[in-house]
Amino acid sequence: MKRPAGRDDPKRELWLAWYAILVFYNLYTVVFFILTRTQPPGKPWYGAGDASGWFAHHHDGLLVGFALIFVLGGLSATSIALITYSIRRMSVSRAFAYSYLILYSVSAVPGFLFICVAMTAGAMRPDRDPALQQWLYDLGFLSFSGTMGVFLVGSLIWMAAILLDKNRVFPKWFGYLNLCNALTEVVVAPSWMFDRGVFAWNGLIAWWINVVVFGLYTGVFINLLRNVIIREDFGTGPLPGLPKRARGHAPAEVVS
Amino acid sequence: MRRTSGELIILCALPAAAILWIAAFFLFPGFLPPMSPGSAPSEVAAFYGDHTARIRYSMILFNWFCVALIPVLMLIVERMRGMAHRTPIMRYCMIGCAGAAPIAFLTATIFWLLAAFRPDRAPELTQLYNDLGWITFTCGVPFLVAQSLFLAVSIFLDQQEKPVFGRWVAYFNVLVAVALVPAGFAGLAHSGVLAWDGLLSFWVKNIAIALWIIVMSVVLGRALPRDRAVAEAAA
């Protein structure tokens, strides 16, 4: 395996981003599954009293876990950036890359900041009126599961780019795995309507199958991104200097 | 023929935006001194009842102009093109954060405005909006932290004879990122330095953001003319 991010490694930026992705997804897993225990999610059918009790029971984990996301959540940009870069290496229009970049960047606030804010607000005041605690509980879980469109369209954009690409940056089968990820965003829609059963936010389809698909998809694309970096051929020499730097253009960049 | 890139206009608009930010900061009665998370619902409701107009005007100002930071962030992204990087990946990281950070603040202004919209609402509901506003405002630092770190890494990687930004700018950005970290933990305390009205979560965090804007605008101002000189020399 190529050693990452040495001082003169021409791929150091790529390896730094790739390792940041590893850190981010591991942090994400630890925070959501272990610290806050918000995955698997709480029961959607909880009444106000149960939701209030849930906050009291998860108090410390919620506050510490989501504080970690408040501090380190921005690392998610590395994953978006590396994937955007991978699309720029494809034979398709830059529009695909920029669409992916913007779609996933705007997903950050509804997709993970809302659950952090709502759960922190709930945990900060366990003695709040239970009806309001239930309101925060719903806001947390539904904003997290129910921010769908950006990931749906984002995955389709990435899929289309991979299937059209002549440079074979990603294998075609991964294009179709993007479709599977996009479908998880389709089948999660009923969680806005049902508070129990397979389609509820903790149900067999809307949670268990989705989390398996998403976990598999994420593991696969992290590995494929690693392959993309290994295959990049920048040569091994030092960076050429930038003596004739004209405004708005850096000649040393392979993709600018 | 002399062309105007417009970058200088963006930079020169920043002091005007900064004046509006400072004005809004002093206009909002909840910042000086910062509201305590330990206040009872009745106190919070009374605050919104007593200061309704000032809360509305200050938050409308913030809602209008907090996103005015985005063009300045894009100026930084444009300077990053001149860095000795092989890929645009650090710029993509910056762009990814640039949208989210001001939007997090914009979301906070919406919660505060909602609380002030019906000050006669049940006090517990006003407190809920107030909590959501303060938590979003105080803890919503992930993109600012990441942005500073990405910028620092970009500067460290810019190994050329005349780097775009001096190395001290990288260390400064690391320092700012560190100063923002405690604010993420504000949910853990109702009083003391970590609480959202505390020394670390309010004063250190907001002074760090203000300093960052001042220092980066000065550094940007120094980077712009150099580029113009390079372009003119090439022409």
B121 touches chain A (CB under 8 A): no
Q: Show residues of chain A in contact with B128, CB under 8 Å.
A: 121, 128, 132, 135-136
Domain ranges of chain A: 12-231
pLDDT for res A115: 96
Q: Answer yes or no: are the C-beta atoms of A244 and A233 closer than 8 Å.
A: no
Q: Which of A68, A82, A117 sits opposite B136 (nearest CB)?
A: A117
The verdict on a CB contact (< 8 Å) between B142 and A73 is yes
ipTM score of the complex?
0.93
Q: DSSP alpha helices (H): ranges in chain A?
A: 12-29, 48-57, 59-72, 76-88, 94-106, 108, 114-124, 130-146, 149-164, 172-187, 210-231
Which residues in B lie closer than 8 A to residue A136 (C-beta atoms)? 128
- Rounded CA-CA distance A245/A238 in Å is 17
Kindly give the parts of chain A with pLDDT less than 50: 1-5, 243-252
Instruction: Determine contact: A234 vs chain B, CB below 8 A.
Output: yes
pLDDT in the model for residue B235: 55
φ, ψ of residue A32 in degrees (nearest 5) = -75, -35
* Direct distance between the N- and C-terminal alpha carbons of chain B, in angstroms, rounded to an integer: 10
- Angstrom distance (rounded) from CA A61 to CA B159: 42
B156/A contact by beta carbon, under 8 A: no
Average pLDDT of chain B, as a whole number: 93
The alpha carbon of B57 is separated from its chain's Cα centroid by a whole number of angstroms, namely: 19
Q: In 3-state terms, what secondary structure has residue A249?
A: strand
Q: Which residues of B touch A71 (CB under 8 A)?
A: 141-142, 145, 180-181, 184-185
A81 → closest Cβ in B92, B107, B131: B92
Taking 50 as the threshold, does the pLDDT of residue B94 lie above it? yes
Beta carbon pairs, A and B, within 8 Å: 185
Integer Cα distance of A109 and A177 in angstroms = 26
A252 touches chain B (CB under 8 A): yes
Residue-level pLDDT at A9: 79
Per-residue model confidence (pLDDT) at position A245:
45
Residues of A in contact with B36 (CB under 8 A): none
| Nearest residue, CB atoms, A81 vs list B93, B187, B230 | B93
- B124-180 pLDDT, tens per residue? 999 999 999 999 999 999 999 999 999 999 999 998 889 999 999 999 999 999 999
